[in-house]
Amino acid sequence: MKTKVGIIQFPGTNCEYDTQNAFQALGCETFILWHKEDTLPQGIDLLVVAGGFSYGDYLRSGAIAKMSPIMKAVKSYADKGGKVLGICNGFQVLTECGLLPGALKRNEGLHFISRHHHLKVVTTNNTFLQKCTVNDVVNIPIAHHDGNFYIDAHGLKNLYANDQVLLHYTDETGNISNPNGSVDSIAGICNLSKNVFGLMPHPERAMEALLGSDDGCRMLEGFLSA
Amino acid sequence: MKAIVNVFLKNGVLDSQGKAVQHALSGHGFGTVSDVRVGKQIIIEMNESDATSAKAKVAQMCEDLLANTVIEDYQIEIQA
């Protein structure tokens, strides 16, 4: 059975077709879901909140998108244990709507950063990174202005205690290298129930060695039906 | 009735834009500048006659959308 992947599209989303291409390359059936929809297609195995600049990043990145009709369906899907992945702006949307803890602030250096960056896998005790190994270093593009992950000290302690920190920004040897000021160099997290995932880097842009890296394949493959 | 909402990063959350502006001002001879905070102001016109009720509605707007209370504080001023 093909894994069914729904990809959410807001005005200003711009990674929905890259995401579609990536999951199709992995053999999935994909559906682009316009934000005005208030229901999801039957039998969806994974919902992806794709990257981009929903609503032009007005007010705060992801803030206005969280008010879209489809987000109620996304919340209810997640509350029932459905798997949700937020990439870049999708991560921002998921923190804004409370499905993930913390917030994404303006990059510490104030610049938009667009380049490949290395990430170290912190845990594989979850669906998303189950095909990776702990301390694996992957090479994945980042492209964001508001990627500076913030959470208070208490929240950070809980993230580690519950194995919710997925990825750290590092150099190619796995030493911490923080591009944007994120607390503890965190690039991605999941929720307590480990069915909602968010990361700033773009695994869907790392699917072809010819284009710089195919490390995104073994990340996204975690979502394929067994 | 008019509501003026000021949204700023909480104390203790690093304000990178504020720091950049502070450095620029210091570098331009404003040596007495010791701190700068950059926030945003949102001005809302409302068809309301009761200031207390208006303020309660704006507070709800702040909680729901206008501020991200994980990192931001807000202040509301109601003008007749």
> What is the domain partition of chain B in residue ranges?
2-79
Domains of chain A, residue spans = 4-223
Residues B24/B41/A91/A118 CA torsion (nearest 10 deg): 0
Q: Each residue of A5-20: pLDDT tens digit?
A: 999 999 999 999 999 9
Interface of A with B (CB under 8 A): 59-60, 63-64, 66-67, 95-96, 102-103, 105-110, 148, 150-151, 181
Q: Encode burial over A150-161: b for 16+ CB neighbours within 10 A, e otherwise.
A: bbbeeebeebee
Q: Each residue of B52-68: pLDDT tens digit?
A: 999 999 999 999 999 99
pLDDT for residue B74 is more than 60: yes
Instruction: Please count the other Cβ atoms lying within 10 Å of the Cβ belonging to residue A148.
Output: 24
Q: Which fold has domain B2-79?
A: Mth169; Chain: A , (3.30.1280)
Q: Is A128 helix (H, G, I), strand (E, B) or coil?
A: coil
Q: CB burial class (10 A; 0-12, 13-18, 19+) of residue A74?
A: buried
Q: Each residue of A45-73: pLDDT tens digit?
A: 999 999 999 999 999 999 999 999 999 99
Chain A residues in contact with B19 by the CB 8 A cut-off are none
Alpha helices in chain A (DSSP H): 16-25, 70-79, 89-96, 153-161, 215-220
Q: Looking at residue A13, what DSSP letter applies?
A: B
pLDDT at position A226 is 57
Q: Please compute the mean of the pLDDT values over residues A108-128 and round it to a whole number.
A: 97
Q: Do B14 and A181 touch (CB under 8 A)?
A: yes
Return the CATH architecture of domain A4-223.
3-Layer(aba) Sandwich (3.40)
ipTM for the predicted complex comes to 0.89
**Among all residues of A, which ones are annotated catalytic?**
88, 202, 204
Find the residue in B nearest to A104 (Cα): B71
Interchain contact B20–A (C-beta under 8 A): yes
User: What secondary structure does DSSP assign to chain B, as a single string?
Assistant: -EEEEEEEEPTTS--HHHHHHHHHHHHTT-TT-------EEEEEE---S-HHHHHHHHHHHIIIII--TTTEEEEEEEE-
